[in-house]
Amino acid sequence: MDTLFERIKDAREKAGLSVNQAAEALGVKRTQIWRMENRSETLTAERLFELADLYGVDARKLFQGDTASASPDRLYDLIGAVVIMVEECVQTLDARPPPDLIRDAVVEVLRQEGNQPPDIRAKGFDATRYQGLVTLIFKQAKQS
CA distance 56 to 75: 9
Q: Is the pLDDT of residue 113 over 80?
A: yes
75 or 126: whose pLDDT is higher?
Answer: 126
CA angle 80, 84, 89 (to 5 degrees): 150
Q: Is the pLDDT of residue 115 over 60?
A: yes
CA distance 140 to 82: 20
Highest mean pLDDT among 25-34, 87-96, 108-117, 123-132: 25-34
Neighbours of 109 (CB within 10 A): 26
Q: Is the pLDDT of residue 94 over 90?
A: no
Q: What is the mean pLDDT of residues 103-118?
A: 85
State whether residue 82 is helix, strand or coil. helix
Q: What is the pLDDT of residue 68?
A: 47
CA distance 49 to 69: 14
Quick: pLDDT tens for 37-66: 988 878 888 888 889 888 888 888 788 776
State whether residue 51 is helix, strand or coil. helix
State whether residue 120 is helix, strand or coil. helix
